[in-house]
Amino acid sequence: MRNKLTLCGIIFLLATHIVYAEAEFDFEELMESIDNNSHNLQGNIANKDAAASTALAKEMQSQFKLVEGFFEKRGNAADAVTDAKKYEDLAAQIVKYVEANDYNSASNSAIEISKACDTACHDTYKPL
């Protein structure tokens, strides 16, 4: 019985930590970070800085995953969820393009993220 109680306590603590971690970010700060990262990514790609471009594109993948989760939980924003997933996929493509030294395609994808972000969610969902 004691083992079951201990196990339940551990599961509760882990579950609580996971829920808290998801709610730990400030959405507005996240959006500002994505905007800054988007511009910095374009500069890194233009300079053909593979390490910085790859690191930033991977960071943006994680950021768009948070955006996707935010809008999924919010509800009534299926288009925002779809858009976030699209940008997450574009960021993943950028990593592949940079690894293949295809900076033109990486640049086009980075520009697509910037343009689409500005005209998609921002028109409909900002301010939240």
* Cβ proximity of 77 and 71 under 8 Å: yes
* Cβ proximity of 92 and 109 under 8 Å: no
Question: pLDDT per residue over 42-65, tens digit each?
Answer: 999 999 999 999 999 999 999 999
Query: How confident is the model at residue 31, as a pLDDT?
Result: 86
Query: How confident is the model at residue 82, as a pLDDT?
Result: 92
38-45 contacts at long range (C-beta below 8 A, 24 or more positions apart) = 38/110, 38/113, 38/114, 38/117, 39/114, 41/94, 41/110, 41/113, 42/107, 42/110, 42/111, 42/114, 45/94, 45/98, 45/103, 45/106, 45/107, 45/110
Query: Residue ranges of the domains in the chain?
Result: 26-125
Confidence check: pLDDT of 35 > 70: yes
pTM of the predicted model, to two decimals? 0.76
Confidence check: pLDDT of 13 > 50: no
* 14 confidence band (pLDDT: 50, 70, 90): very low
Q: Identify the sign of the CA torsion 55, 61, 64, 65.
A: negative
Q: What CATH class does 26-125 carry?
A: mainly alpha
Question: pLDDT per residue over 71-123, tens digit each?
Answer: 899 888 898 899 999 999 999 999 999 999 999 999 999 999 988 776 666 55
Query: How confident is the model at residue 106, as a pLDDT?
Result: 97
* 17 confidence band (pLDDT: 50, 70, 90): very low
